[in-house]
Amino acid sequence: MANEQLGFIGVGRMGGPMAGRLLDAGYRLTICDKEERAMAPLIARGARRVASPAALADAVETILVSLPTPAVVQTVALGDDGVIAGTRVKTFVDLSTSGPRTATLVADGLRVKGITAVDAPVSGGISGAEKGTLAVMVSCPRELGARLRPMLEVLGKFFFIGERPGMAQTMKLANNLLSATALAISSEAIVMGVKAGLDPKVMIDVINAGSGRNSATQDKFPKAILPRTFDFGFATGLLYKDVMLCLEQAEALGVPMLVGSAVRQLLAITKATQGFDSDFTTMVKCVEEWAGVEVRA
């Protein structure tokens, strides 16, 4: 319920806007982040800060985290100065894309201390975090999910995926594989058209009016690729991580990922040539370079 005291670890590009919405909704926040500048805007609005995940876990019963990699999630949850070392915390909500393996490891580790882990990865990017329009995928005990739902609906649309740890993470990986694939194949199609002399803006308009429309043609090309701003708001290296986690899960389940493997390879090339922190829409630059053309409005 609003006015409840929550903890939030990781208040950067995604976590910051989500934490801000919780403040707007009346929740009281205690926050933790290794970057002081990330915490400053929230502290100015009344959030308290603590020095470590363990200290946060001494102060509040419910902690949300938004972190970049599975390794960081594991350290924050289970490390020597992690949430597991706290004395008050009861619920650990992971909003990150950390994969089903990490979700299971964290859940098993925290359960020993009487802490329930909730995987609740989100989709919708920085814009969705700011507007409260994220898709929030949740797996945890059903009763706990119902209790957390009003708080999570401050962030976006609530989807209960299942009760087993990792189920929501699997859902998120499937979503991100589709998002990456849409961008990869749309890049190839649009570059081909430009090489043949077509206007890329007209191509996008036609595709979005027809059966080829997808998240890349509807959002990423008009907003970040055609204007050449490449600022959609998600790092190439992080999307590469997500696709790698998806392929690892598929392999563990015995599911072939032929197209997914090709997308992973194109992302690996993008990461190597454009940089880990480059916007993932720069994927089109790799195809442009090979074709010798540029997609520009």
Where do runs of H (alpha helix) occur along 121-231? 125-131, 142-152, 167-195, 200-209, 215
- 116-119 vs 28-32, strand pairing mode: unpaired
At residue 42's C-alpha, the angle toward residues 39 and 44, to 5°, is: 105
* 271 annotated active-site: no
Instruction: Give the contacts of 57 (CB within 8 A, at least 6 positions apart).
Output: 7, 63, 82, 83, 84, 85, 86, 87, 88, 89
d(CA 229, CA 222): 10
CB 297 within 8 Å of CB 227: yes
Q: Which of 34, 90, 172, 241 is catalytic?
A: 172
Longest dimension (CA), the chain: 65
- Active centre residues (catalytic): 172
